[in-house]
Amino acid sequence: MSRFTRARIHLDALRHNLAVARSHVGEAKVAAVIKAGGYGHGAVAVAGALAGADAFAVTSVDEAEVLRQAGFHQRILVLDGLFEADELELAAARGLDLVVHSDWQLDLIERFTTETPLRCWLKVDSGMHRLGYAPERVKMAYARLANSASVEGPVNLMTHFACADDRRSDYTRSQLQVFNAVCEELPGERSAANSAGVLAWPESHYEWVRPGVMLYGASPFADGLPGRPALEPAMTLESRLIAIQHFRRGDRVGYAGTFTCPEDMPVGVVAIGYGDGYPRHAPSGTPVLVDGRRTALVGRVSMDLICIDLRDLPDVRINAPVTLWGQGLPIEEIAEYCGTISYELMCKLTSRVRFDYEGGHGEG
């Protein structure tokens, strides 16, 4: 291995986190969300580790096809449904579950003829105000779908939360009221819960839950309340120290000289940067682990390198392992320093990062 930058993917952690999700939802079935390449962890490897889920959920027919090509036979829920008419044939052939959020999709499905009918989920806009049918239009859309020859009944119902990550917000409860009202008298299974719903809103579990980020070991909550769910990180981003410099008081470190040494001090240089997907806007002070001990970023993140404060770690050596997030350093903490969420950090690693899969022994 030449450059040391790698993401270790802990497949055991994925299995553990799926078990945590199950422990919260009783008899509800779990659709493990593995869109966007399994939140950047590698969709096929993640699907292998999570093969015990009742279904997978992805964004598009394309993402579902990757899983079918890899040999997965589980139900796959396509969260954004169709993008184009010519995907219908494949969706039916592959036995996908399609979300239907718009009239144009309904029109296509009504005109479609197939010998392998589609399973469909009507998307209800209960307050997220992004995709889906307004409550007053649900009955009409449901009836059209249910009467389509290409659709296998009963049609299912789903919705998505806007604020479930804030346990103090009343908004989730009001979305649940809207969803409950439209689902009344309509047959079919229901699904509402994302990770935050799984962990904090038991009344949202219904027949199916759709956890994503919690499976990768990150807390979905952004409400500052204490306590962290007992999740294990599925990704540890690592590199190594490739230089140790001794700067003088007043020396400025890195591009634009944004960090000035307050005293004579050792500074470590680590082989990782925004070219690997480490966030460029991580400020001085963002924590990193060297040899398992905490220190902090100093100066700007560059494409290939970052600099770190070694004042409290005078004994570290060249090649010392550095953890950017993962085991021992929750990704949520890094996300908070960077003004973003763990989801974005996970998804943004680049192809330059080597992925090492650990703990794989088929389905546990």
Among 25, 53, 213, 267, indicate the residue that binds ligand PLP (CB under 6 A). 213
322 scored as a contact of ligand PLP (CB under 6 A): no
Catalytic, 35? Answer: yes
Least Cβ distance, residue 249 to ligand PLP (angstroms): 46
Q: Does 210 bind ligand PLP (CB under 6 A)?
A: yes
Q: From the CB of residue 255, how many other CB atoms can be counted at a distance below 10 Å?
A: 11
Q: Which is nearer to ligand PLP, 36 or 44 (CB)?
A: 36
Based on the shown chain and the rule CB under 6 A, indicate whether residue 132 belongs to the binding site for ligand PLP. no
For the chain, how big is the Rg over CA atoms in Å? 23
Options 21, 30, 79, 338; binder of ligand PLP; rule CB under 6 A: 79
Residue of 29, 35, 337, 348 marked catalytic: 35
CA distances from 116 to 58, 93, 96, 112, 319 (A): 21, 7, 10, 11, 57
CB 282 within 8 A of CB 305: no
Choices 7-15, 66-74, 210-218, 228-236 (CB under 6 A): range interacting with ligand PLP: 210-218
* 236 exposure class (CB count in 10 Å sphere: 0-12, 13-18, 19+): buried
In the complex with ligand PLP, the residue whose CB is nearer, 221 or 259, is 221
Q: Which of 5, 156, 194, 342 binds ligand PLP (CB under 6 A)?
A: 194
Q: Closest by alpha carbon to 200, among 216, 209, 127?
A: 209
* Only segment of 19-27, 212-220, 270-278, 325-333 that touches ligand PLP (CB under 6 A): 212-220
CA angle 335-39-156, nearest 5°? Answer: 120
237 touching ligand PLP, by CB under 6 A:
no
Residue placing its CB nearer to ligand PLP in the complex, 158 or 297: 158
Which residues partner with 241 through β-bridges? 270
Q: 104 φ, ψ to 5°? A: -65, -30
Cβ closest to ligand PLP, residue 159 vs residue 323: 159
Contact 283, 307 (CB under 8 A): no
**Is residue 29 among the annotated active site residues?**
no
Q: Which stretch binds ligand PLP (CB under 6 A): 110-118, 207-215, 249-257, 346-354?
A: 207-215
Question: Which residue in this structure is represented by tokens 């309509």?
Answer: 186
DSSP 236: E
DSSP 259: E
- Tell me the torsion sign for CA atoms 322, 40, 34, 203: positive
Which residues would be at the binding site for ligand PLP (CB under 6 A)?
33, 35, 79, 160, 194-195, 210-214, 220
